[in-house]
Chains A and B, each alone.
Chain A
């Protein structure tokens, strides 16, 4: 079957993309729309680096056909990064050395954003459970947990997102 046009809201903006059947959201974002913050590590739903937020819920964009987000609201790292400065999570990741090679970071930030949106003051156990599907081979995880805890401890948890 021929390609078709899928329409969805990307980071607050109506977006159209023309794709072949079963094209993944990650591929559409990266290769068709130029939104390359989202990374693909494993292409099989194990590493979490492709995590984006659809209608408030974290999903793995490398195993999600873009047809499934027709009419839905997709949030990527580009969507939470302010035009000037950093999102509080980005700031905390930087300050706590929660980034080394950086490949897992977009997924880590999006799953953390999803968590804090639903639960602004999670326990460390809740943070670890929420982030358990996101692999990092550099940091040993603790700096990432500390960064999320730091943002959760600040009273401005809900500030800084440019959308949602």
Chain B
């Protein structure tokens, strides 16, 4: 089946109405960097497609030291305009320039690991995802609760991701992506750390990982191992080993599961050491 219709709604209301009318038979895309390759190869053969580029969701608004990012904001815009260094760093490491111009912040949440590295930074920043439905209005979902498995999430069939919200980050943030090249490379592991230290102890800490599980996730056991303890080398080593133990790495042409697990230990340790320094 070739695509019979390509909808380009001019507002969020129109987009939600189209989704309500056509339901899951309609493929939703923003930048098209995930959907168009599948359509070009005939793997995905949607009868109806909706593109969100014109729906008024391509904004990046700084708000009180934080940022509200429209779901269809190009990654390149997030890189230059968010005002949040860790988000800029995350985008810098996603694909190449042209893909950053096309891929979107919201769309990146739907990229399967090892892709989808924006979320690892967003998780460390306690991002919230605003979703909306034509009939039920809006709701906020902590990004931490958004992902439910490989290529699955808690979005209902009639809902669209509308916006990603990040509050002014407290503490020090570090993002490390380890791949085979310096730029434009799939992750062996991506680590995002945010550390609020008080009196040499970890008051509040986030350790987020990607490419070592079915979706970007927080290494909660590693976070727990750090909370309230002195930020010394031995405690950081314990947390790093904990993260390596709790991740669920996979083997792909980039790296083996075993290697990925070892690199989680190395790169969580490095990220934490940089955050403490």
Contact = CB atoms under 8 A, between A and B. Distances in A.
A and B associate? yes
Contact of B95 (A62, A111, A128, A133): A133
Interface string A6-46: 00000000000000111010000000000000000001110
Contacts of B181: 132
B5 A64 contact: no
B32 A65 contact: yes
A150 to B, nearest CB: 21
Contact of B37 (A43, A114, A132): A43
Contact of A132 (B40, B41, B96, B101): B96
B99 A22 contact: no
Nearest to B33: A45
Contacts of B4: 1, 21
Contacts of A65: 6, 32, 36, 51
A132 B99 CA distance: 11
B40 A63 contact: yes
Contact of A128 (B2, B51, B183): B183
18 contacts: A1-B4, A20-B3, A22-B6, A24-B36, A24-B40, A44-B37, A44-B40, A45-B98, A45-B99, A48-B96, A48-B98, A51-B98, A58-B98, A60-B102, A64-B36, A64-B102, A111-B98, A134-B96
Interface of B: 2-6, 8, 32-33, 36-37, 39-41, 49, 51, 53, 76, 95-99, 101-102, 181-184
B32 A64 contact: yes
Interface residues of A, number: 29
Interface string A95-129: 00000000000000001001100000000000011
A43 to B, nearest CB: 4
B3 A63 contact: no
A109 B6 CA distance: 31
A43 B8 CA distance: 22
B55 to A, nearest CB: 12
Q: Which of A24, A58, A60, A63 has the most CB atoms of chain B within a 10 A radius of its CB?
A: A63
A21 B5 CA distance: 6
Contacts of A21: 3-6, 49
Given A59-B101, A59-B102, A130-B97, A45 B2 contact: no
A62 B97 contact: no
Contacts of B98: 45, 48, 51, 58-60, 111, 133
B14 to A, nearest CB: 15
Given A67-B6, A129-B183, A43 B53 contact: no
A132 B8 contact: no
